[in-house]
């Protein structure tokens, strides 16, 4: 338990301490700026089991950019690409490569969310605006967070359309089966040297979040590199944003590598939940998704003891987990199963985590060493360790 700070106080009590001036209903959508949205949508449909959902572009009268919305259960990704040379999105692409621009949060009152957060020091990205079509109206407003990343508050209680005004339903002849991804479990931001506490304070002061787990560079370290992480949560625990910063090690921290290639802070990984990680990961692997290398045999040999130390029993076949490279971590409350993709673009920046929670509410602290050694093998291949 030494890896986890604060958990002994009980998560419910900690969540109660979060401020309720910003009630969040969940993640609404995550928008990426990409070089070729049509191809990116095809990749996420094929490789991750997302479904065609909505579209905006030349055919719908939008001459500036094209956006493809793909959906799987509660997860909505928006893939947006500029159509002309003078778009601000080209600068975003040149600077960051494909990456996350918007983490949209579903709220009951977007105007109030914007007012409460800007009043507390958030920099405005978009003043409250009402968008309408024949299906009703949506209110959106936005604030900046780390780097060029933004949060947009989305109020959709008076809207019955497919996604947002201006979008049309995307009917595609190509509809691969879903792969069991359910919702966004957490989403991690990387920030620069000595900036973690700045952004922890931002989420506390501006958004009323609480810091409920902390990991220092003694806990997240390998022979070569280190990082520090603090997990921020909103009051109902639906939104969890761990924030990482690099730490000094013998070699380059994976966070520093990210910052170098992304040219600043940004979203490092999106963790998506499944109820059947064995089935989900087998399907993703069959469609060519690349995951970090499987931990060594000794790792899997230690799993039964790691679970029994916390009085848990593994419901899954450990040989299956091992053959798919899925990792296991346990705490008092239960265990979790997780695996990490390699970066999903050529720059070593954004990647995905697939997670199945079997009672545990942590983030796999017991897997950090095995995980980071796998990442270091990739860094070594890239010549960036
Ligand atoms: Fe994670």
* All structural domains of the chain with their residue ranges: 7-17+180-382, 24-169
CA of 350 to the centre of ligand 1 (A): 12
CA of 341 to the centre of ligand 1 (A): 11
CA of 269 to the centre of ligand 1 (A): 7
CA of 163 to the centre of ligand 1 (A): 27
Topology of domain 7-17+180-382 in CATH is 2,3-Dihydroxybiphenyl 1,2-Dioxygenase; domain 1 (3.10.180)
CA of 90 to the centre of ligand 1 (A): 29
CA of 188 to the centre of ligand 1 (A): 7
Ranges assigned E (strand) in the chain: 26-33, 51-56, 65-72, 75-82, 99-106, 124-133, 136-144, 150-155, 168-169, 181-190, 210-215, 226-233, 240-247, 266-274, 327-331, 334-340, 351-358
What residues in the chain have per-residue pLDDT under 50?
1-9
The answer to whether 36 touches 193, Cβ cutoff 8 Å, is no
The answer to whether 325 touches 291, Cβ cutoff 8 Å, is yes
User: At the top level of CATH, which class does the domain 24-169 belong to?
Assistant: alpha beta
pLDDT (0 to 100) of residue 19? 66
CA of 181 to the centre of ligand 1 (A): 15
CA of 238 to the centre of ligand 1 (A): 14
CA of 272 to the centre of ligand 1 (A): 9
pLDDT (0 to 100) of residue 3? 38
pTM above 0.85, yes or no: yes
CA of 357 to the centre of ligand 1 (A): 12
CA of 169 to the centre of ligand 1 (A): 32
pLDDT (0 to 100) of residue 72? 98
CA of 52 to the centre of ligand 1 (A): 26
CA of 186 to the centre of ligand 1 (A): 7
Contacts 24+ apart (CB under 8 A), 135-142: 135/159, 135/160, 135/161, 135/162, 135/165, 136/160, 136/161, 137/165, 138/164, 138/165, 139/109, 139/110, 139/111, 140/104, 140/110, 140/164, 141/110, 141/111, 141/113, 141/114, 142/102, 142/114
pLDDT (0 to 100) of residue 213? 87
Please, what's the largest Cα pairwise distance for the chain? 60
CA of 206 to the centre of ligand 1 (A): 23
CA of 148 to the centre of ligand 1 (A): 21
Q: At 1, is the secondary structure helix, strand, or coil? A: coil
pLDDT (0 to 100) of residue 374? 84
Provide the 8-state DSSP code for 341.
B
CA of 310 to the centre of ligand 1 (A): 21
pLDDT (0 to 100) of residue 176? 96
CA of 351 to the centre of ligand 1 (A): 10
CA of 247 to the centre of ligand 1 (A): 18
CA 237 to chain centre: 15
CA of 376 to the centre of ligand 1 (A): 17
CA of 216 to the centre of ligand 1 (A): 16
Write out the two tokens for 207.
Answer: 């958004």
CA of 355 to the centre of ligand 1 (A): 8
Q: How far apart are CA 234 and CA 356, in angstroms?
A: 21
pLDDT (0 to 100) of residue 15? 65
Other beta carbons within 10 angstroms of residue 174's beta carbon come to 9
Q: How far apart are CA 23 and CA 39, in angstroms?
A: 36
- Identical fold at 7-17+180-382 and 24-169? yes
CA of 20 to the centre of ligand 1 (A): 25
């Amino acid at each position: 338990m030494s890896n986890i700070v604060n958990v002994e106080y009980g998560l419910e009590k900690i969540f109660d301490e979060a401020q309720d001036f910003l009630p969040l209903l969940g993640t609404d959508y995550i928008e990426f700026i990409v070089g070729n949205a049509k191809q990116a949508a095809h990749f996420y449909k094929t490789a991750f089991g997302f479904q065609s959902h909505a579209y905006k572009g030349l055919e719908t009268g939008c001459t500036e950019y094209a956006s493809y919305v793909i959906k799987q259960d509660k997860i909505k990704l928006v893939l947006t690409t500029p159509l002309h040379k003078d778009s601000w999105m080209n600068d975003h692409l040149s600077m960051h490569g494909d990456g996350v621009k918007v983490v949209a949060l579903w709220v009951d009152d977007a105007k109030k969310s914007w007012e409460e957060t800007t009043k507390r020091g958030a920099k405005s990205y978009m003043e409250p605006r009402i968008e309408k079509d024949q299906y009703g109206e949506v209110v959106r407003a936005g604030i900046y967070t780390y780097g060029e990343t933004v949060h947009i508050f989305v109020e959709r209680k008076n809207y019955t359309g497919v996604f947002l005004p201006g979008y049309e339903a995307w009917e595609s002849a190509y509809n691969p089966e879903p792969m069991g991804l359910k919702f966004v479990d957490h989403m991690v931001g990387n920030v620069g040297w000595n900036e973690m506490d700045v952004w922890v304070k931002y989420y506390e002061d501006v958004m009323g979040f609480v810091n409920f787990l902390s990991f220092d560079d003694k806990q997240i370290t390998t022979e070569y590199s280190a990082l520090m992480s603090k997990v921020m949560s909103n009051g109902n625990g639906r939104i969890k944003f761990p924030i990482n910063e690099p730490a000094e090690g013998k070699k380059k921290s994976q966070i520093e590598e990210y910052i170098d290639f992304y040219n600043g802070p940004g979203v490092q990984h999106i963790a998506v939940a499944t109820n059947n990680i064995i089935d989900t990961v087998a399907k993703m692997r069959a469609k060519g998704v690349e995951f970090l290398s499987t931990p060594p045999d000794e790792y899997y040999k230690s799993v039964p003891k790691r679970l029994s130390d916390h009085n848990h029993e593994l419901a899954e076949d450990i040989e299956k987990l091992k053959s798919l490279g899925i990792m296991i971590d346990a705490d008092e409350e239960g265990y979790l199963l997780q695996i990490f993709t390699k970066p999903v673009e050529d720059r070593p920046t954004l990647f995905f985590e697939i997670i199945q929670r079997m009672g545990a509410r942590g983030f796999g602290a017991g897997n950090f060493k095995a995980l980071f050694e796998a990442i270091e093998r990739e860094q070594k291949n890239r010549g960036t360790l």
